[in-house]
Amino acid sequence: MRSSKSRSRNKNRNPRPSGGNIINRVFDSSGPDGKVRGTPQQIIEKYNQLHRDAQLAGDRVNAENFAQHAEYYTRLLAEAQREVDQRREEQEAQNRERQAERDRERQDRISAQEAAANAQPDHAQPQDAIDQHVDATSNDDGGSGLVDTPEEKPKPRPRKPRAPRKPKTPPSDNTTEAAD
pLDDT at 180: 47
Per-residue pLDDT tens over the stretch 132-179: 555 555 545 555 566 767 676 677 778 888 888 888 888 776 655 555
**Of the candidates 69, 45, 44, 66, which has an alpha carbon nearest to the alpha carbon of residue 57?**
66
Per-residue pLDDT tens over the stretch 18-50: 556 777 788 888 777 778 888 899 999 999 999
What are the boundaries of each domain within the chain?
Answer: 21-117
- pTM score over 0.75: no
* DSSP letter assigned to residue 162: P
Cα distance between residue 102 and residue 55, in whole Å: 61
71 band by pLDDT with thresholds 50, 70 and 90: very high
DSSP notation for 85-144: HHHHHHHHHHHHHHHHHHHHHHHHHHHHHHHHHHHS-GGG--HHHHHHHHHHH--TTS--
Cα distance between residue 107 and residue 110, in whole Å: 5
